[in-house]
Amino acid sequence: SLSTGSLSLQPFEYPVCTEEGVVFDLLSIVPWIKKYGTNPISGEPAALSLFFSLLHFVPGKYHCPVLYNVFTNNSHIVANKVSGNVFSYEAVEQLNIKTKSFNDLLTDEPFTRKDIITLQDPTNLDKFNVSNFFHVKNDLKVLDPDEEKAKQDPAYHLKSTNLETRETLAELYKEYKGDELLASTMKEPQAKKTDKLNAAHYSTGRVSASFTSTAMTPATTHEADAIADDTVRYQYVKKKGYVRLHTNKGDLNLELHCDKVPKAGENFIRLCKKGYYDGTIFHRSIRNFMIQGGDPTGTGTGGESFWGKPFKDEFRPNLSHTGRGILSMANSGPNTNKSQFFITFRSCTYLDRKHTVFGRVVGGFETLTAMENIESDPKTDKPKSEIKIISTTVFVDPYEEADVQKLSWCRTPPPPPPQKKKRFKNDEERTPVLNRLPSSLKTVAAEPAHIAGYDPGKSSQFKKKRTVNFRMCSASSQHGISSQQSKNSSCLDTTEMLTLNRRSEKCKADKLFDFYRSADGASGHSSYISC
């Protein structure tokens, strides 16, 4: 149909025409020429200079400007190439061709017979056969940037939707994070480096996971999992923290249970050192209950933790809201601790396992009493007289000491592994050790047969639960007693009991030698041997 462009196949807005009488939309033909440089109908090379604009051919008002007859599918329509005006063939034939007056009927511009271009001839409609178009045969398209962007929207492919569907899709798109979740699952997880401090006793589990999953890269080596940095760091926190709050009513000395609830304790100490609480007020005070502060806005809805995000609760069975002056974290639900805290005026055990207890008042109870005596607004519980934290002082920060200790531990080389006790196989290996023994023991150690009742050739003497009575003799190097003479010399009066276990059958003379080596020849005392 003449009412649609031959490329976009949609009603045209700015019509242009070729010498063959094919009409295109200017918004469609320009990107095509820039991309392909051919005629979309014939496929032959083409340039923009071969196209001319059609004037007085506004969509929806297709009629001849001379005869005023409306154009239909059966109308014979021509265009003047020089002026770009469109007329019915009947008007051009009667007023130009027959009169041989080749001047435009509207602008009076001169033209020739060749400048008359046939746009539609009811006797020849082959050029409107879309199946013969070059771009249709080869499925060539030039997507508009706006159209490409629109195609990314899933609703682009929906032909018609009702109001409820459109509202549902609009609400879904606001919270849709499917692409982000998919992208996160496609990324290969980065393994955290482990060292002697953060290496766990369990593995990462990648070997077993890759064995049963086709989406993971196969892993064949077990690697130790990495413990969280905070968990490793807090192992070195062994002390309490001490902070003083300077208020306009007096000072409050606080003891922080950093060794039991390290996360809450570090948050409070870091905020105090940062000056976060300086100038803040206690925005809520209820007599016989508690006083709450730590919000820089003073409204009870603000405040941030030292890390900029809420942290988890830390409940301990030995930390309870029992007694006056308990320091605890205020929150808006589970695991929503930030910067606000409260101090109790009396026991509130019903708050256990709902709020994290991380300290207590150890000095300045008269200040706490002065705070409690200030009247509050019954509707908002806000003190009528301002209670302000002027500044804070941190006396003991156990986290700095823990960091120093951790750093020094990292730099200290590990101790050497314990050496196993050397076992001698024969007398040749035993000789160097004999040379290091005291002279008073050399003679006796060289001949372990001095134990009464012992025969080295009879291992059957060493049986389960067998008790051997013996008398240990000591040769004195001062008197020059030889090993042969020591048999007849006076022996020590000490009698020891040597009890051997189930594996005693394998004990040989080297075990007895170890016994002699550990004996004190001067005093006559000896130690037991267990094989």
For residue 116, being part of any structural domain is answered with yes
Selected catalytic residue, list 140, 351, 434, 437? 351
The active-site residue out of 39, 85, 253, 292 is 292
Check if the beta carbon of residue 363 is closer than 8 Å to that of residue 252.
yes
Q: Which of 20-29, 141-150, 185-194, 342-351 has the lowest mean pLDDT?
A: 185-194
284 catalytic, yes or no?
yes
Residue 57 lies in a domain: yes
Task: Tell me whether residue 152 is in a domain.
Answer: no
Tens digit of pLDDT for each residue in 434-476? 455 555 444 444 444 444 444 445 444 444 444 444 344 433 3
Active site residue 133: no
Check: CB of residue 253 under 8 Å from CB of residue 260.
no
Confidence at 198, pLDDT banded by 50, 70, 90:
confident
Whether residue 250 contacts residue 365, with contact meaning beta carbons closer than 8 Å, is answered with no
**Would you call 211 a catalytic residue per the annotation?**
no
| Residue 502 per-residue DSSP state | G
Is 177 or 351 the better-scoring residue by pLDDT?
Answer: 351
Say whether pLDDT at 121 is over 60. Answer: yes
Q: What is residue 329's predicted lDDT score, i.e. its pLDDT?
A: 96
Q: Which residue has the higher pLDDT, 65 or 318?
A: 318
User: How high is the pLDDT of residue 231?
Assistant: 84
Report which of residues 202 and 365 the model is more confident about.
365
Catalytic residue, chosen from 24, 51, 87, 342, is: 342
Task: Give the tens place of pLDDT for each residue, 288-302.
Answer: 999 999 999 999 999
Residue 403: pLDDT over 50: yes
pLDDT grade for 168, boundaries at 50, 70 and 90 = confident
- Do 242 and 271 reside in the same domain of the chain? yes
32 and 93 belong to one structural domain: yes
Whether the predicted pLDDT of 129 surpasses 80: no
35 shares its domain with 78? yes
CA angle 220, 224, 228 (to 5 degrees): 140
Q: Give the domain range for residue 203.
A: 199-227
Residues 252 and 391 in one domain: yes
Q: Are residues 204 and 283 in the same domain?
A: no
Do 337 and 218 lie in one domain? The reply is no
Q: Which of 136-150, 233-247, 286-300, 336-350 has the lowest mean pLDDT?
A: 136-150
Same domain, 369 and 302: yes
pLDDT for position 271: 96
Q: Which of 156-160, 222-226, 341-345, 412-416 is least confident?
A: 412-416
pTM score, whole prediction: 0.46
Query: Which of the following is catalytic: 284, 321, 360, 450?
Result: 284
State mean pLDDT over 347-358.
95
Q: Is the pLDDT of residue 362 over 80?
A: yes
Residue 363 is predicted with a pLDDT of 94
**Number of independent structural domains in the chain:** 3
- Pick the catalytic residue from 321, 355, 360, 450: 355
Higher pLDDT, 45 or 396: 396
CATH number at residue 387: 2.40.100.10
Domain boundary at 355, 379, 406, which? 406
Quick one: pLDDT at residue 286?
95
pLDDT at 189 over 70: no
* CA dihedral of 396, 398, 400, 403, whole degrees rounded to 10: 170
For residues 266 and 343, state if they share a domain. yes
Cβ 228 vs Cβ 197: under 8 Å? no
**How do residues 466-520 score in pLDDT, each as one tens digit?**
444 434 443 333 344 444 444 443 343 333 333 433 444 444 444 444 444 444 4
384 pLDDT above the threshold of 90:
yes
More confident residue, 499 or 357: 357
Residue 458 lies in a domain: no
Indicate if 289 belongs to the active site: yes
Does residue 515 form part of some domain?
no
Residue 424 domain flag: no
252 counts as catalytic: no
More reliable by pLDDT, 256 or 425? 256
With 70 as the cut, is the pLDDT of residue 522 above it?
A: no
Q: Which of 235, 331, 405, 461 is catalytic?
A: 331
DSSP output for 334-359: TT-B-S-EEEESS--GGGTTTS-EEE
Please tell me the number of Cα atoms within 13 Å of 436 on its side-chain side: 6
Backbone angles phi, psi at 308, to 5 degrees: 85, 0
Query: So what's the pLDDT on residue 485?
Result: 40
β-strands 116-120, 224-226 pairing: unpaired
* Domain co-membership, 209 together with 286: no
| CATH number of residue 55's parent domain | 3.30.40.10
- Is 59 inside any structural domain? yes
Catalytic residue from among 52, 102, 134, 289:
289
Structure confidence at residue 324 as a pLDDT band (50, 70, 90):
very high
pLDDT of 206 over the 80 cut: yes
The verdict on 86 and 29 lying in the same domain is yes
Asked if 56 is an active-site residue, the reply is no
Last residue of a domain, one of 120, 142, 164: 142
Whether 436 is covered by a domain: the verdict is: no
Nearest to 143 by CA among 37, 43, 41, 27: 27
Active site residue 484: no
Indicate whether 62 pLDDT > 60. yes
pLDDT, tens digit, for every residue of 66-107?
888 888 888 888 888 888 888 889 999 999 999 888 998 888
**Averaged pLDDT, 515-530:** 40
263 and 124 assigned to the same domain: no
Average pLDDT, the chain: 75
**Are 247 and 124 within one domain?**
no
Which comes out higher in pLDDT, residue 162 or 491? 162
Nearest-angstrom CA–CA distance, 459 and 110: 138
- Given 227, 242, 265, the domain boundary residue is 227
Residue 499 or residue 371, greater confidence: 371
Which residues have CB under 8 Å from 382's CB, separation 6+?
283, 284, 285, 376
Q: Which residues pair with 105 in a beta bridge?
A: none
Average pLDDT of the segment spanning 238-264: 95
